Structure formats: structure tokens, C-alpha cells
Structure 1
Amino acid sequence: MKVRRSPDTVGSLRGQFLRWLLIPLLLLVALNAFSVYRNALDAADLAYDRSLLASARALSERVSIVDGKLVANVPYVALDSFETDTLGRLYYKVTGVNGEFISGYEDLPTLPKDVPRSEIYPALVHFFHAEYQGQAVRIAALHQPVYDDRMRGIALIEVGETMDARRGLSRTILVDTLLRQAALILAVALMVWVAVRFVLHPLMQLKANVETREPTDLSDFDPALVHKEIRPLIIAMNGYMARLQTLISGQKRFIADASHQLRTPLTVLKTQAELALRENDTEAMRMIVQSIAATTDSAVHLANRLLTLARTGHGAAEGVMAPLSLRDMARQVCTELALPAVRKQLDLSLEAEQDVTVTGHELLLREMLSNLLDNAIRYTPQQGQIVVRVYVKAGANGVGEAVLEVEDSGPGIAAAEQERVFAPFYRAGAAVETNPGGAGLGLSIVSDIVLLHNGHIKLSNVVAEQCLRVVISFPLD
């Protein structure tokens, strides 16, 4: 079952291009922005940590042993620079070799035991985060060896810095990164919009071409005017219009044929009816009514053949195919037409030793065989013979073919007329003599159905100008 989509289901091609390109791009940009931000923060932390280490080393140079005691000689100018900085606030603390407080801020957090030594710098330094005076701080803890003749050990020098400077730098980095990425996305969106508009220009030209065409113009569109990826669609459209042209041509032919061919019997009927109205003789009126009945039968036969011709044309458009048993179909049609054959004392036989399966339209194939048998019964004289054969033969290219053959002992068709009898309303000379009331559509219908099934039809006379044989071959699956 085909699912019908509303016009809004598919949406805009330009919009889909933008969504399919920009949404993944946004995700990639977000990942890239996060990566750039993290790398920038790492670089900033590295720079600030180097500054903390430099401050700790500067303090370590002022730590010395005086009279057997460890002292930190930090001038007031240095203390001011440590306590107040334009980018934040600095704190320091010096701890002696025995863990005693020497100088600085005594309550500054001490180095935890689980903090690893930094491998980046050639120094015994540890970096860690802590909380001090209600603020987050980053602390560098430097182990500084001290010694003289009376003392030997390692002092701990800690320098802490508030996170204001780092946070300000991180915000600057983040805003700058986001602005750059946003500008990149806008530039890409603009380029995609322009590119899609440019790429769709051939389709817009094709749209204008379609809109300005006349309703009766079913000529092909030039596939070279569009992109390579769109050409299969244009080729499919051209194929569809060709099939539509065939269907319309068939309908036009049917309307023209029907109007032309039905006009004669209807005119005859009208004339006969007017004669009957003016006739007072009962016997003469009876003969006129019999003529009216015969003319009506001829008109009905003609109308049925015209409808069959129209149905054959529609069969090509409907495209309903199914595997069919050619032998079973021949047996059924022979059974249906057995009564007319018996009335003429005809010997109707079926020769089909093996079953043959073909793919086709069941109604059309039955109509094809019915037309062939009906013609054979009409044109075969009393006590004649009709043989229907079904078999398989090897084709010219080595592929097997299914063959349906109808042979009768009628007058046959002259060799010069065997190609012309497939044209609508053309009747061979022998057929006109045998059956003047024929429509001339039987073999035309048969030919159309055979062509619809990719088959071939051939006419021949078994003997000189006698006994017509119709051979139809279909490709096997």
C-alpha cells in the first residue's frame, strides 16, 4: 500500500540542507569550543602556576638560618606586593624544618599528604586547591632545603592566590571562543544558503519550464539541463510522459475509431427504422425488423471490439502482471467457444502436452485467444478443423519461448495482406467475402496484446492461400 505524504511532510530542500549541515556543525563547534576552552584553561593554569612557583622561589631565597634558627627576611615592600595584586590577592606561609610556623599567614591551609609532586617543573613543588577566608585559592607548596653547621632540613614555603584572576581569564577565553565559533557558524550558514540557492537554480529553471508548457506538450525534458543526480528523475519523468502519450494517443484513436465506425451502423439503423415506420406490409416490415436485428448485432459486435481495443490500451498503463498457465487458459477458452464450433460442425482440438507458464494480464491474454478462436470459427467453413497448440521451443538467442498456435482450415490470408491485417479496420479480401459484417479489429487487438507482453506474432498459410496458421511466442520467465 502506498503511503501518501502531505506537501508539508517532505518540507523545503533548502531547509533540510541547512538542518543536516548546521545541526552537526553546531555539535562539532560545541565540542571544539569545549576543547579549546579546556586547553586555554590548562594553558592559563600553567602560566599562573609558574607565577606562583616564581613567587615561592623568591621567598625561598629570603629564608635563611640565623643563630641556629630558621628566619624569613621578607621586606615590607615584598609583603605589600604579596598581599595585594591587581589581578587578585596573594598569601604566603613559611614553615620550618620541624613544622613550626616561621612567617606569613599562619592559618593558610597546609599541604595535604595525598597531593602529588608536579612533574612539570624541576623543583619539589606541589599545587593544590583550598578554601581560605571564604575564598577559593590555588596554593604552590615548595620544599626548600636549608642547612648550616648546626641545622639541616627542608622548609616548606607556600604561596596562595585567589581565583579571581584565573576566573576572569577563563571568562574572557570562553566569551572569545564562543564569539569566534558563532561567527563561524553564521558564515557557514550564509555560504550554505547562497550555495543551495545557486545549486537549485537549474531546478528552478526546470520548474519554470514545466509551468509554461502547454497542456498538450508531452515532449521530453532535456536531462543535460540539471545535475547528474537529478537526471534519473528527469529520465523517469520522460518515460512516464511517453507512456502517458501512448495512453492518450490510444484514447484519441479509440474515440476517432468509435465515432467513425459506429456512425455507419447507427445511420443504417435509423434508415431501417424510418422504413419500418412507413411500411404497411407485414411481411416487408418483418424483413426490415430482421435487418434491424442483424445491423444491431453487427453494431454490438463492433462496440465490443472497440471496448476491447480500449481496454488493451489501458492494460499497458495498469501494469497488472501475474504468472499464468497458458495450457489452462487455452483449455478454458476452447470450452467457452465449443458451442459455436459445434453449431458449424467444426473439429476443435487442443494439443498441449506440457504446461507452460507466462507472465501477463489474464484478461487481456484471454481476450487475445478468444479473438483468435472467434475469427477461426467465423471464417472456417462447415465441417472444418481448428487446432490450438501450446508448447515450448528454443529461441534465437538460446532462451526458451512459450508458443501459442491457432490453425484453421479456412480461406487463409494472402501473403501480401498478412502485415496489413494488423491495422485497425483493415479486412483481407477473403475475409470480406466470407463474412461481410466483420469489424476488422480482431487481429489488431491480438497484435496490441502480444506487443504489450513483449511477444511476437506471425501469420502463414499451411497450403497455398489456404488454412491460416497464427503463431504467437512469448519470452519465458
Structure 2
Amino acid sequence: MIFPLAILVAIDAVTVYHASIEAADLAYDRSLLASTRALSERVSIVDGKVVADVPYVALDSFETDTLGRIYYKVTGIHGDFVSGYDDLPPLPKNVQRSQAYPALVYFYHAVYRGEPVRIAALYQPVYDDTIRGIALIQVGESLEARRDLARKILFDTLLREALLVLAAAVLVWFAVRFALRPLKRLADDVEARKPTDLSDFNPALVHKEVRPLVAAMNGYMARLQTLIAGQRRFIADASHQLRTPLTVLKTQAELAQREHDPRAMREIVHGIGATTDATVHLANRLLSLARAEHGAAEGELQTLSLSDLVRQVGLELAVEAVKKDIDLSFEGQREVQVRGHALLLHEMLANLIDNAIRYTPRGGKVAMRVFKVDVPMLEVEDSGPGIPEAERERVFAPFYRATSAQAVNTAGSGLGLTIVRDIAAMHGAKIELLDGAQGAGLKVRILFPH
């Protein structure tokens, strides 16, 4: 604050100085004109000649002044020298008449006897009964007085401005220390907290102007608490869900070690493979859920073709559909575009279509539809057991599985629709669970924003 204030004060000092110099020049020029007029009153015509009746006392006052030296010159109507200093610099041709006074007066700078002077040149009419003409009266003064006044004005201005800056610096120093004292208390509060303490900061610690900052910090702490709570919940759920299949794997391995019958051994190994597949599926779903919850998308939002994404995921999962002799079809418009993260949208579609294939019985149908009416829309419809209307809100909770789904597939993870919901929410999309065709199966509809 002090640095720009000092710059402004310096600019103001220069401005005031130049304004004062102009005022001083105006005052000194008026005084110089008064001396010139006083001298012109003593110029007359005697015996057909221009004469200047300047008494000794007046002449002495013109020759020397307490504030500087003064010089004068009187020139006749024919350009002849009458009185004063005959070598005084003449009036230049390009000097404009002064408009500040109702007189034929010209002011100009010159150098006389090695020093700068300011000269007033006044044309004065002179006449008698025999002759008429215009005499030229010049009065010049050295610039010591003007320079002394300019220095005095400059020093006085700088002194006042320096005192002003000093006073402002002191006031600002006290004001800043007073204003920052509450922030220091807030900083001490932050440093004294334990890493696990995410409680709100007290807005009363700071001035009201800083309270929006404290409110923003408290809001951030609340979001951080939500994030940490979600991580803890995820870790607890993951450990709980993984504990069971891992225990089963360990039991199956112990049985395999004690078994000597090759047929029984193959059955146990087959069970180990099935349990391993279920565990891998569960781990992949857990990782997808973590990515969806924390928005770990690669790259920025971009414009994507929803139609191409659905086709791509459908082709990737077509092998699983063929294994179960499921009719996997795609319908809809060719170019429907949405704004989103390609990786997360791919994950959402993979979970959605994979769920439909898993829970559709052999020989069933899974239809993928992409179209746009008012907004981009995606539908995945299957001919599986569907989800009872009473459970449609609950199936979005992690690890919850509808009773109809448990009857068809006992190895599910209960995370597929949770992942779909979280990724849809990240993209501002709305998800709906509806009955399939003729009231059988499940239709999942996702409406994307414009």
C-alpha cells in the first residue's frame, strides 16, 4: 500500500510544482509588465525626438533589484536607441503577443551578459503636435527570484508530501497489524489442530470482512469429511465383501490339499476357479466404484458420441451374450453426442450392459437404444427377472441385491447399479428404472443434460 501511495504522491508533487511555477511566472510577468508601463509613462516627444525622463532614483531601481538584476531599453519610433542598455536582446520575430493583458506586450526569454533573463517588450504610442509614432520599451529581469521561488515551492511541496507519506505509513502499519491480528489467531488455530480434527473454525475469531473466507474453509472441511467418510465406508465394505470369498478360497485350497480322489480334486479346483472369477469380478467392481465416487476420470470433459460408446461396449460384451445365446441388439440414432469423461462413461455402460446380460436367462434379449428427443437418452432393456418397484430405490445402495436378482445369480456383487448411479450423477444425468416390454424384465433409462 505504501509503494503505490508514494508513487501517487510523487506524481501529485510534480503536478503541484508545475502548477505553482505557472502561477509564479504569471505573477512575475504581471510585475514585469507593471515596471514596463511605469517606464513607458516617462517616455515622450521633445523637439521632435523621443526622450525617456528616467530620474536617477528610478534608474537605480531598474539597474538593481533586491531579488535580481533588472535591465531596460527604450527604442524610438525610427528604431533609434533612446535610453537604457543598448545591447539588450531584441524582440524575436516569432513571439506571439500576450493575450492575458489589454496591451501590445510580448514576453520572451533570452540570454544577456551570460545569464538567462525574462523580457517584457511593450509598444507604446507617443505623439505631439508635430509627430506621431510607436516607441518600444523593453524591461528584462534575471531569473534568480523565479528560481528561488520555484525551489521554495518544490521543497515545501516535497516536505508536505513526505510528511503525508510518513503519516500514512504509520497509520497503515497500525491498521494492517490490527487487521491481521485475527488472521494470526486463525493461523494459530489451524497449526494447533490434530490431523484428524476436521471441525469448523470459529468465524468470531476474525473481522466480518474475512468471515466469508472462514465460511469457505468450513465448507471445504465439510466436503473433506464427506470424502473421508466415503473412503472409510468403502474400505469397510470392501474388506467385508472380500473376506467371504477369500475365506471360501482358503477352505477350498485346504480341501484340495487333503483330497486324493482325482474326480473330487477336479470338482474342488473347478470351485476354486469359480470363486476366483467371482472375487476378481467383485474387486473390479470395487475399483470401478472407487473411481466413480472420486471422479478419477482421465482427461477433461469432452464431446463424445454416445452411439459409438454404446456400440463399442456392446461389441466388447458380445462374447458373453453369445455364450448364453442372448439376442444383443442396438437401436437408435447414429449421432447422439454428450459431454463427459470417456473412461467413466465406458465404465457406466459396461456395468449396465453386463448386468443386463448376467441376469437375462439363456435365450433372452438385451436391447441397447440411443436416441434424442429433447435430451440425449440411453436405454438398456432386458428380459430378465426385473426389479420389484418396492426395491428400485434400494438397489442403488452398495452391495444391496434385489431378491429377484439373488434367485437368478447368487454370485453378484451388488455394485453394478451403484456404479451406474454415481457416474450418471457426475455427468448431471438422471437414471430411471422401469418395467420392460409387456411388464417383464427391466428397462434402465438414463437422460443426459443438453
Question: Quick check: 1:36 aligned with 2:19?
Answer: yes
8 A Cα contact 1:59 1:157, kept in partner: no
With normalisation by structure 1, the TM-score equals 0.76
2:349 partner SS: helix
CA distance in 2, matches of 1:442, 1:116: 94
CA distance in 1, matches of 2:402, 2:52: 132
Distance 1:165 1:277, change over 3 A: same
1:176 corresponds to which residue?
A: 156
2:386 corresponds to which residue?
A: 412
Give the CA deviation at 1:362.
Answer: 2.9
8 A Cα contact 2:398 2:414, kept in partner: yes
2:419 corresponds to which residue?
A: 445
1:46 corresponds to which residue?
A: 29
1:267-293 deviations in whole A, cap 9, x for unaligned? 222233333334445444444333333
Distance 1:402 1:212, change over 3 A: farther
Give the CA deviation at 1:184.
Answer: 4.2
1:251 corresponds to which residue?
A: 231
8 A Cα contact 2:337 2:376, kept in partner: no
Give the CA deviation at 1:425.
Answer: 1.8
CA distance in 2, matches of 1:36, 1:57: 31
Q: Answer with 144-153 or 307-316: which moved more.
A: 144-153
Q: What's the Cα RMSD here?
A: 4.2
1:470 corresponds to which residue?
A: 443
Distance 1:363 1:238, change over 3 A: farther
Q: Which of these residues, 299, 311, 317, is aligned with residue 291 of structure 2?
A: 311
8 A Cα contact 1:312 1:448, kept in partner: yes
Q: Which of these residues, 103, 117, 125, is aligned with residue 137 of structure 1?
A: 117
Distance 1:262 1:189, change over 3 A: same
8 A Cα contact 1:322 1:359, kept in partner: yes
1:178 partner SS: helix
Distance 1:420 1:127, change over 3 A: closer
Q: Which amino acid aligns with 1:288?
A: I
Distance 1:220 1:458, change over 3 A: farther
1:458 partner SS: strand
**Gaps spanning 5+ residues in structure 2: where?**
none
CA distance in 1, matches of 2:428, 2:337: 15
CA distance in 1, matches of 2:193, 2:23: 62
Q: Answer with 420-429 or 242-251: which moved more.
A: 242-251
2:143 corresponds to which residue?
A: 163
1:56 corresponds to which residue?
A: 39
Q: Which of these residues, 390, 393, 402, is aligned with residue 377 of structure 2?
A: 402
Distance 1:103 1:368, change over 3 A: closer
2:381 partner SS: strand
Question: Quick check: 1:386 aligned with 2:369?
Answer: no
Give the CA deviation at 1:469.
Answer: 0.7
Q: Which amino acid aligns with 1:474?
A: L
Give the CA deviation at 1:103.
Answer: 4.5
Q: Answer with 272-281 or 96-105: which moved more.
A: 96-105
1:381 partner SS: coil
Percent identity over the alignment? 57
Distance 1:89 1:39, change over 3 A: closer
Q: Which amino acid aligns with 1:422?
A: F
1:358 partner SS: strand
1:356 corresponds to which residue?
A: 336
Distance 1:193 1:35, change over 3 A: farther
8 A Cα contact 2:122 2:137, kept in partner: yes
CA distance in 2, matches of 1:136, 1:355: 87
Q: Which of these residues, 242, 265, 269, is aligned with residue 249 of structure 2?
A: 269
Superposed counterparts of 1:62-461, under 5 Å: 65=46, 74-95=54-75, 101-109=81-89, 120-121=100-101, 125-142=105-122, 156-187=136-167, 210-216=190-196, 231=212, 244-315=224-295, 320-352=300-332, 355-383=335-363, 385-392=364-371, 399-408=374-383, 410-461=384-435
Give the CA deviation at 1:49.
Answer: 0.9
Give the CA deviation at 1:251.
Answer: 2.6
CA distance in 2, matches of 1:166, 1:335: 95
Give the CA deviation at 1:51.
Answer: 4.5
CA distance in 2, matches of 1:436, 1:353: 36
Q: Which amino acid aligns with 1:416?
A: A
Distance 1:370 1:101, change over 3 A: closer
With normalisation by structure 2, the TM-score equals 0.79
8 A Cα contact 1:402 1:476, kept in partner: no
8 A Cα contact 2:298 2:343, kept in partner: no
CA distance in 1, matches of 2:408, 2:340: 33
**Gaps spanning 5+ residues in structure 1: where?**
1-16
2:411 partner SS: coil
CA distance in 1, matches of 2:322, 2:134: 130
Distance 1:189 1:317, change over 3 A: farther
1:9 corresponds to which residue?
A: none
1:409-429 deviations in whole A, cap 9, x for unaligned? x33334433332222222233
8 A Cα contact 1:321 1:360, kept in partner: yes
CA distance in 2, matches of 1:142, 1:327: 96
1:411 partner SS: coil
Q: Which amino acid aligns with 1:424?
A: P
For these two proteins, the number of residue pairs brought into alignment is 449
Q: Which amino acid aligns with 1:56?
A: L
